[in-house]
Amino acid sequence: MTDDELQCALEAVLTVALEPVPTKELAETTGEPETTVRETLERIAEDLRGAGRGFVVVELASGWRLQSSPAAAETVQRFAVREVSTRLSTAALETLAIVAYRQPVSRSQIAALRGVNVDGVVRLLEQRGYIEGVGRAEGPGLPVLYGTTELFLDRLGLVELSQLPRPETLLPDEEETDRLVEDLASTVRST
């Protein structure tokens, strides 16, 4: 297979793939060595980034994927926001965040942090493939400890958990906090 044929074949496969595709699987599919496939994918990724296209090729935890360009994130987010809220509830997102940042974590630890029963939400996240049992805690009943999955990383466009934003970067800065406190105080005074 020539370089152009391999590039065409890899682009075509990534276009129709529903999930990220490992380098090994792409090599088996094309009949080319893994190193050649990886080099070609890296070249495609670089070419797309350099051309400023609306889509990019990225390597994630479980393989390669064609996805929208980060430069178009705001527009894509506005387009996709209609469906996102129906996919996972606020409770599910809160629970998923706890698992992502505290893993391995038990159901009772999640419930203590959220202040509500989380059995149904944990079951939903397991069914969707975002979390899984990764071990058992010592103690009465040997509770299951949960962690996130490769699918979770893939959905967020990450290779590893260390790429998650630090929680403190998600909080408002001091100026924003002061404004929120003042707004709340004025609301309380007016009631």
Encode pLDDT of 81-128 as tens digits. Answer: 654 445 788 889 999 999 999 999 999 999 999 989 899 899 999 988
* Predicted local confidence at residue 24, as pLDDT: 96
Helix, strand, or coil here: 43? helix
Q: Measured between alpha carbons, how far is 68 from 181 in angstroms, rounded to an integer?
A: 38
Terminal Cα distance for the chain, rounded? 74
- 181-189: list long-range contacts, CB under 8 Å, 24+ apart: none
Q: Measured between alpha carbons, how far is 66 from 168 in angstroms, rounded to an integer?
A: 31
* Predicted local confidence at residue 174, as pLDDT: 81
How many residues are present in the chain? 191
Per-residue exposure over 38-49, b if at least 16 CB sit within 10 Å of its own CB, e if not: bebbeebbeebe
Give residue-wise pLDDT tens across range 147-187: 999 999 988 888 899 988 887 777 777 888 888 888 888 88
* Predicted local confidence at residue 183, as pLDDT: 82
* Predicted local confidence at residue 80, as pLDDT: 66
Give residue-wise pLDDT tens across range 16-75: 888 899 999 999 999 999 999 999 999 999 999 899 899 999 999 999 999 999 889 888
Q: Which residues of the chain are in CATH 1.10.10.10 domains?
A: 3-72, 88-169
Q: Where do the DSSP E strands lie in 107-189?
A: 131-136, 144-148
* Predicted local confidence at residue 85, as pLDDT: 46
Which CATH architecture is the domain 3-72 placed in?
A: Orthogonal Bundle (1.10)
Contact 149, 132 (CB under 8 A): yes
> Nearest-CA neighbor of 9 among 18, 25, 61?
25
Class of domain 88-169: mainly alpha
* Predicted local confidence at residue 191, as pLDDT: 65
The whole-model pTM stands at: 0.54
